[in-house]
Amino acid sequence: MQKQTPGVYVEEKSIFPPSVAEVATAIPAFIGATDKKLEQDGETSLLNKPIRITSMLQYEAVFGGPELETFTITTAGEIDKSAGYRAVPKNIMYHCVKHFFANGGGACYVTSVGGSTEAGYSTEPTKDDYEAGLAAVKQVDEVTLLVLSDAIRLIGEPPFQNSEYYQLCQTALKQCSDTKDRFALIDVLDDQAALSPSDSLKESYMDGMREAIGKEHLKYGAAYYPYLKTSMARSYDPESTQLGNDNSDKLKALRDAGSEQASMMEKALAKNYLVLPPSAAMAGIYAQVDKSRGVWKAPANVSVSQVFEPTRVIDDVIQESMNVDTVGGKSINAIRAFTGQGTLVWGARTLAGNDNEWRYIPVRRLFNMVEESVQQASQFAVFEPNNAFTWLKLKTMISSYLESLWKQGALFGNSAEQAFFVNVGLGQTMTENDINNGYLNIEIGLAAVRPAEFIVLTFSHKSISS
């Protein structure tokens, strides 16, 4: 602008291109039944409202506590399992979020679903309720992971190939494909009877998942098996939990009376450990690994916290059929116990386990992160002149971001040129007709690093020469 008054003027001129701000990579959305279904005003419904939380204290303030179950304690001081003792409680949303935080999780979204706004767990959500929750989560751009563990109540009959839970998982996979910014974690369904490592592995259950999950959008999800025996005790109602089957000696009454039997009952209840499906813990491990190493590091060979053991024993022979599915290519990631190491995640494949491009979880999630980050950073160019100056700003911005990823070890190559390319311009990615119609096309190629699954050590005898 032409100056009107004599003097000295200072002008600042921007010489640096805009930068790419990296999006969050491990923000899960939990969808399920909660204790509270109304906001603190007591009138506004919480149903199908994704709410961001960062701690269990915040969860409890907004959504309430866990379901309080009723148990019968035998006179020998053990949980009576004769009256249909389920291995997994019906309402596990509270416990899943708790397990997420215990395994390194940070921020997450919680969406309460169900057919009623009444407090408590009296109403069981249906498949339609969960789908409504998924639809609400679709509108939250920050979400990058979908966890549906609470929906395993829609289990069906073994081997579960007709389960409504897997139908819901298909909806989640499609949402991930539509938005291209999120990834679904899927639990392979198991028995609801008491589970222990002595139970034989049900390979038919894994086959049921592979049959039920379909063949679409598989690169946007990963499956985990088996369930986990956690170190968290199940929540109980002292007013209904009783000693023996005569329906008279309730824990609260015995506790108030100072009875030694109450102490015996509480010891048994303290060891009444939860069994949970693994996806919630895996969401926490994703967050933990992303924070410490980066999204390009496979979320595997990592200990699962607050877990005693998996509920099924998986060895190398069994895992062969899990890791590589010769029929449909649907890999299942194992969680295994190793002597002296504890319970470890021992797999990092997507459901597209035979796909050369999208076989590995970190590759899919790295592309999700880069695509979303670059898309958001490129918004400045909308309605800018579609000319060489704008193309140069975009190329410089994206190249700088990708070079920083390469330097961190996210991309393969001895040089930046080997690790990635960014093409934009007339004659490269656009024609005159494209420019005339308002299209600015950018082509990006990444040499993503892949995990070393199979490390082969070759030994030979060395001859001694004179």
DSSP 38-92: B-TTSSSB-BT--EEESSHHHHHHHH-----B--EE-TTSSB--TTT--SS-S--
183 & 328 share domain:
yes
Question: Average model confidence (pLDDT) for the chain?
Answer: 92
- Give yes or no for residue 466 having a pLDDT over 60: no
Question: Count of CB atoms within 10 A of residue 192's CB?
Answer: 19
Report the pLDDT value the prediction gives residue 84, as an integer from 0 to 100. Answer: 66
* Interval 451-464 mean pLDDT: 81
Report the pLDDT value the prediction gives residue 419, as an integer from 0 to 100. Answer: 94
In the sheet with 273-276, reading across from the earlier edge strand, the strands are: 273-276, 228-233, 307-310
98 & 230 share domain:
yes
* Interval 185-195 mean pLDDT: 86
This prediction has a pTM of 0.93
Q: Is the dihedral of CA 294, 295, 301, 307 positive or negative?
A: positive
Report the pLDDT value the prediction gives residue 11, as an integer from 0 to 100. Answer: 72
- Give yes or no for residue 1 having a pLDDT over 70: no
326 & 423 share domain:
no
Report the pLDDT value the prediction gives residue 274, as an integer from 0 to 100. Answer: 95
Range of the structural domain that residue 66 is part of: 28-236+272-354
- pLDDT-derived band at 325 (thresholds 50, 70, 90) equals confident
318 & 402 share domain:
no
pLDDT tens-digit map of 335-370: 999 999 999 999 999 999 989 999 999 999 999 999
- Give yes or no for residue 248 having a pLDDT over 80: no
Contact 16, 395 (CB under 8 A): no
Per the domain annotation, does 208 fall within a domain?
yes
287 & 397 share domain:
no
119 & 210 share domain:
yes
Per the domain annotation, does 366 fall within a domain?
no
The secondary structure of residue 445, as a DSSP letter, is E
Q: Identify the helix (H) or strand (E) that includes residue 239.
A: none
pLDDT tens-digit map of 75-98: 888 998 876 688 899 999 999 999
* Interval 122-142 mean pLDDT: 96
Residues near 380 by beta carbon (within 8 Å), at least 6 away in sequence:
18
- pLDDT-derived band at 278 (thresholds 50, 70, 90) equals very high
Q: Distance between CA atoms of 400 and 411, rounded to whole angstroms?
A: 13
346 & 401 share domain:
no
CATH number at 109 reads 3.40.50.11780
pLDDT tens-digit map of 146-179: 999 999 999 999 889 999 999 999 999 999 999 9
Per the domain annotation, does 347 fall within a domain?
yes
306 & 348 share domain:
yes
Kindly state the greatest CA–CA separation across the chain: 100
Per the domain annotation, does 437 fall within a domain?
yes
- Give yes or no for residue 14 having a pLDDT over 70: no
Paired strand residues for 307: 230
Per the domain annotation, does 177 fall within a domain?
yes
225 & 160 share domain:
yes
Per the domain annotation, does 90 fall within a domain?
yes
390 & 335 share domain:
no
What DSSP string runs through 307-346?
EEEESS---HHHHHHHH--TTT----EEEEEETTTEEEEE
Per the domain annotation, does 168 fall within a domain?
yes
Per the domain annotation, does 350 fall within a domain?
yes
Residue 42, burial from CB neighbour count under 10 angstroms (0-12, 13-18, 19+): exposed
Contact 51, 62 (CB under 8 A): yes
287 & 416 share domain:
no
348 & 387 share domain:
no
> Into how many domains does the chain fold?
2
Kindly state the percentage of the chain with pLDDT values over 70: 96
40-44: long-range pairs with CB below 8 Å, 24+: none
